[in-house]
Amino acid sequence: MPDTDAPSLLTLYPAMGSLPELLPRLNLVRVPAGTPLFREHGTCQGFPMVLQGEVRVSRSAANGRELELYRVLPGEMCLVSSAGLFAGQPLTAHGVTTTDTTLTLLSPPDFQVAMADPGFRNFVLGLFALRMADLTSLIEAVAFQRLDSRLAATLLGHGQQVRATHQALADELGTVREIVTRLLHRFERDGIVELSRECITICNSAALRNLAALQTR
């Protein structure tokens, strides 16, 4: 990796500063939105470090349904990739860029070298713990929260106008499009939202917040 790129990497992943011998082996990769970075059951090609953009990590079911597990932003860690490197096992999810993304990849051998450094090891394990907490929250939401409550919370997180397909919302919630469509039409009948092509306009934010606050089935 050129020296001009190192400060950005070291700002986001400061633990790499104690491993200067590995920096010249890192190459920046720039990929457009919608690029598959890794696939389920594939071999992990290395430890990704995102410098710009975002990676959506999801798990697929045999029936074609998807559940978004988390998103990797600059300075964050991909739990699935790290687990694959730790255990030497196939990947359990797939990753796709959601925006134009710049990243670099620490190869499996270099990752093992880096893990021998206490600073890097503590950094990775700290990120690992944070990501596990995110997954625990997701499991709690899927297991215990009402789907209409989760959909309401998701809509609130996208602003006054949500430009997303029903399928994209279903993927984010880990359900099927038909259920999301049914719930959105119910919201529309109640005057909470207004539906148009690939756009959902929030008409009653207070009602949506009240619905999002319901945490039990």
Structural domains of the chain, with CATH = 3-142 (2.60.120.10), 146-212 (1.10.10.10)
- CA 71/CA 54 separation, integer angstroms: 7
Task: Report pLDDT for 45.
Answer: 94
What was the pLDDT predicted at 216? 46
Q: Distance of CA 69 to CAs 6, 25, 80, 173, 190, Å?
A: 30, 30, 10, 10, 31
Task: Report the C-alpha gap between 37 and 55 in whole angstroms.
Answer: 8
Looking at residue 144, its pLDDT comes to 56
Res 145: pLDDT = 60
* Distance, CA of 15 to CA of 123 (rounded, Å): 6
Do the Cβ atoms of 20 and 73 come closer than 8 Å? Answer: no
Give pLDDT, residue 87: 86
Mean pLDDT by 10 residues, the chain (217 residues): 60 94 94 95 95 92 78 93 90 94 96 95 91 78 75 87 89 82 90 90 92 70
pTM of the full predicted structure?
0.67
Angle of CA points 79, 58, 44, to nearest 5° = 50
